Structure 1
Amino acid sequence: MFAILKKDILINQKYLLIVLLYSIIFPVILIIDGDNKYLMMSFLLPFINVNFFVGKSCYIEDSVDVRNFLKMLPINHNKIVFIRYIEMIVTLALSSVYAFLVQLYLMNGVSNAFLIHVNLLVFSALLIYFGIYLSVYYKINYHAAQNTLMFLFVIGVSTFILTEKVFNIKIEMINHLNYSASYIAFVISIIVLSITYLYSIKEFKFNKFA
């Protein structure tokens, strides 16, 4: 199992470097822009980071050489699915925590509780999405999964752009939400993630890597 994780890290060294640079540069760009769009980090940091690491791992896994490597590993093939989900969850969690810490530093007038619940809501939504992304990958292929990724990216960015003029209204609306909604969303995301994981195992056929 650790051989798969090690393989992903070694093969994706370049993309992990890109993830690190992006995580540093993107907040700087928002600071330079100076329009208080720091909440965008809650979505765009974890979304891009998971896409680069987990998405590229799925892409590389489609190659003949990697398929042959996986075929020779003396492990339960379902662990390949397990490792991919773990990579997604860890990358998503670390990126979300990082986004929260940066926002905590930059958004002095915003309460900690508000930032926690916003990031938890976005984390829950992305957890559901990437669970579906991986299930589509194991059901069909990388390109089908990537199409859903691009769809979410366009929708997410468009939403921020279209609501820019009413951004303060949106913040006020979120502040009046019952914060328990974020916890409910998190529980739902865990349930959906579990379903997509079991579905991915069911659909995963190792002869794809033959």
Structure 2
Amino acid sequence: MNKAYNFRLYPTKEQERLFAKTFGCVRFVYNKMLGERIELYERFKDDEAKLKKYKSPTPAKYKAEFAWLKEVDSLALANAQMNLQTAYNNFFRDKRIGFPKFKAKHRDKNSYTTNNVNNNIRLEETKIKLPKLGFVKLKQHRYLPGNQIIKSCTISKSSSGNYYVSILVEFFQDVPPISPARENVLGLDFEMKTLYTDSQCERAEYPRFYRKALEKLAREQRKLAKCTQGKQQ
């Protein structure tokens, strides 16, 4: 089973600067790749087969020109590429969704996702270790299952300036398999009047409230017909 746990982060000033740099780099790579996608789409929009076969470049392509991309978590940049690919595939699946849009600093949420590789993400007491950042203080208000495996983390910054981490974990539950025991078999055959007749020749017995109340209803309607408007009974 996969489950996400959200916790509040309390980074240092230096860690806040690295968070901000990572948010910006992820947004930059996403927009760079999207720009290339748009240019390609304008050239070959009449040939969707060619567009779907196009393999987008990896973030490593931009590191030679923009050396500051090497300062942040490479897995965060790789996830930005995956997010764009998902949005691109959704567009071809349903054009009503619309083509992916550029991300803006003050409009879109500041966040990035990184993956756990070789135990580079782990919880220790009141801290979490994150790639490139080291240990970041967090408020762990609930404990994770003992047999859990951390799959990935999504770090985000709220509009109020608070930082949060969403930890996606995979854990296993020792639940013994249940074998269904078949004791009795009952067949049902639809019938218009009684809904069904079963294989034991039993029929569903409707309460038939309306038919049982017809006599009382007729009596009350006769009383109502004799009433004068505005007169109390």
TM-score, length basis structure 1: 0.36
Per residue, is there more strand in 1 or in 2?
Answer: 2
Greater Rg by CA = 2
Per residue, is there more helix in 1 or in 2?
Answer: 1
TM-score, length basis structure 2: 0.33
Q: Bigger relative contact order, structure 1 or 2, given CA contacts below 8 A and separation 6+? A: 1
